[in-house]
Amino acid sequence: MTDLDHEFEEELRQGLMLRNAPDGFTDKVLSRIPEHKQAQPIRWPVWRWATAAVVALAILLGVGFEKERQQRIAGEHAREQVLLALRITSSTLQAVNHKIREDRSSKEVQP
Amino acid sequence: MWVQASAGATLNVSRDAFRVIVERHQARVFSIAFRILGESGVAEEVAQDVFLELHRSLPRIESDEHIAAWLRRVACHRATDALRRRIVRRDQNAEELNDEIYAVRQPQQPASSLTARVEQLLLTLPVTQRSVMLMRYQEDLEPEEIANVLSMPIATVRSHLQRALKFLRAKAECTLKEYIRD
């Protein structure tokens, strides 16, 4: 940006200093506010409380579901591990049995 | 403090407290309305409506800074709406609302020659660019803040600023220096 640009911007700022509202403006605004509303206590709207409650409930339910899901995953993983161990054990036992039978057969054949 | 907050999120705003709020921000709101509309009478009506809406919206206001941001946003929108309604009424044969036809009558009783000249130039801009320029050079907001106030992308704000500055620079027949008095 050139110096001329800066100068022009500064002139814009100077030219756009705030203008006061016409005389009596504030009184006119206040006169349009109904008397009985001027000191009305202001409360948080009901819908905001309801929304907050729904959001909190959704978060709690979500946390609960997630915890249950993770427990289920952990349980399934443990089950898989047990099944794998059983399969390994089973195949090992089968191999051992096969070996024993082979040994017995070879001994019976010999005189 | 302009309001007293009690436990339980309840705010009590007295008449006197609201008077202080109006007096503190009346120049800002009126200036925005006046420089968008170009007419004092209509601008005053719009400015009053803005403060009445503020009074109704006080439960949602969180701080003094929030008030200023809220007033800028609502003042721009209401003034723009008022301007467009006037254009439609004035030219009912217009086939479409075009920003180029939004230039209105000259402002009354300028505060200074420089102000008069700047306001006159501003009124030659499309209303959207006018609002952006006011937020930048009257309210001294950064582009990111302008984007938030006017609910438009930052890139759009920067584009409007660039185009408006270029247009105004070209339109000014002479520098504004001669209007600045010591």
CA distance B93 to chain A (A): 34
Dihedral sign (CA A83, A88, A89, A90) = positive
Q: Please list, residue by residue across B110-129, b when 16 or more beta carbons sit within 10 angstroms of its beta carbon and e when fewer do.
A: beeebbbbbbbbbbebbbbb
Provide, rounded to the nearest whole percent, the portion of chain B with pLDDT above 70: 75
Closest residue in A to B138 (Cα–Cα): A16
- Interface contact flag, A21 B13, Cβ < 8 Å: no
CA-wise closest residue to B144 among B88, B81, B50, B69: B69
Q: Is the pLDDT of residue B8 over 80?
A: no
- pLDDT confidence band for B6 (50 / 70 / 90): very low
pLDDT, residue B132, reads: 97
Per-residue pLDDT of chain A (111 residues; tens, 9 = 90+): 677 788 889 999 999 999 999 999 999 999 999 875 555 565 678 888 888 889 999 988 988 888 889 889 888 888 888 888 888 777 878 888 888 888 888 877 655
CA distance A28 to chain B (A): 8
Closest residue in B to A15 (Cα–Cα): B115
**How many Å apart are CA B102 and CA B130, to the nearest integer?**
10
Q: Is the pLDDT of residue B170 over 70?
A: yes
- Interface contact flag, A19 B34, Cβ < 8 Å: yes
B12 strand-pairing partners? B4
* Run of H or E including B136: none
